[in-house]
Amino acid sequence: MRAVVHDTYGPPDVLRLEDVDRPVPRDDEVLIKVHATTVSRTDSALRAGQPFVSRFITGLRRPRRRILGSDLAGVVEAVGSTVTEFKVGDHVFGINPWKFGTHADFLCMRAGGALAPTPAGMPFDEAAAVCDGAILALNAIRPARLRTGQRILIYGASGSIGTAAVQLARSFGADVTGVCRTGSIELVRSLGADEVIDSTQEDFTKNGRTYDAILDAVGNLTFSRCRGSLKPGGVYLATDGLQNLVLTLWTARIGDKRVRFPIPPKFTKQDVVFLKQLIEAGKYRAVIDRRYPLEEIVEATRYVDTKQKTGNVVLTITDNRWS
């Protein structure tokens, strides 16, 4: 089968298509023919080996996992001997965190992992773009325990995590303010944001408004900058920055405003099923910026590396000559 592999850390050019052995499912696994996947910011960071400290986990001298990609949508090709939940031919979607490997024609995944039947009528390319951003957004906003009428500000509302967080916070009944650049304002409004702030025109930390929760879905805000925009008892939700781990512990004991940075994030079947139900109820859609065929992985990755994508970048896998 074909897979996108990399043997060194570096720029997108280190990625190349290679013919590799098709994996064989263990007793509790399913073999999935991948029809679509995504290139995420996690894929970019792993490929680049950045931040450097992450190499203590991903491989100090060279990457331990040669094949990246965690989002997936496809068809069950074979099942292990103890699998009862899926059968050959089922359309499935989900995410294979930590093990990766979806940038390939086939992938083996535990049937009990973050995998579920595809939402009714949803094409593979749309289903593939659902899980990474949405489950990271769920991890980030859950500690805020949002209730009807509470106010959340989402900074970076047009990215993969941001577009998901806007819709999820709305579905929890919160009043949502999105912050993004001019070109994404209409999109963020269309996702259900009650208010959208143009970050090129207005600094939300200086407009006097306060929120129950502030989500940094870009990774370049700080708690100290946002503290004045939080209501008493408010919570700052981080997606990046090791200093936020220290601040999580510090603010749990001192002061009336907290920092929460759920790391490592959890990816569960329960969350995939929750998203499927939300989609089927018409309350969630994955935002897709661009689609590339697998063969154009380097171009797709270069675009993700710009940090300017809107929502998600999908890879479609249709040519199976080498399957």
Residues engaged in binding ligand NAP (CB under 6 A) = 40-42, 133, 136, 156, 158-162, 180-181, 184, 199, 217-220, 239-240, 263, 265, 307-310
Report the nearest approach of ligand NAP to the CB of residue 255 (Å). Answer: 23
Report the nearest approach of ligand NAP to the CB of residue 256 (Å). Answer: 25
Neighbours of 71 (CB within 10 A): 32
Enter the DSSP assignment of 104.
B
Q: Is 148 exposed, middle or buried (0-12, 13-18, 19+ CB in 10 A)?
A: exposed
Closer Cβ to ligand NAP, 229 or 310, answer by number: 310
The CB-side HSE value for 242 (13 A sphere, CA atoms) comes to: 4
Report the nearest approach of ligand NAP to the CB of residue 10 (Å). Answer: 18
Closer Cβ to ligand NAP, 54 or 171, answer by number: 54
Report the nearest approach of ligand NAP to the CB of residue 159 (Å). Answer: 2
Closer Cβ to ligand NAP, 30 or 199, answer by number: 199
Closer Cβ to ligand NAP, 105 or 216, answer by number: 216
Closer Cβ to ligand NAP, 2 or 41, answer by number: 41
Tokens standing for 87?
A: 């059968």
> Looking at the chain, which runs of residues are DSSP E strands?
2-5, 16-19, 29-39, 71-79, 91-95, 106-110, 115-117, 151-155, 175-180, 195-198, 211-216, 230-238, 258-260, 288-293, 312-316
Residues 6+ apart with CB under 8 A from 285: 126, 167, 279
Q: Which residue is nearest to ligand NAP (CB)?
A: 159
Report the nearest approach of ligand NAP to the CB of residue 39 (Å). Answer: 10
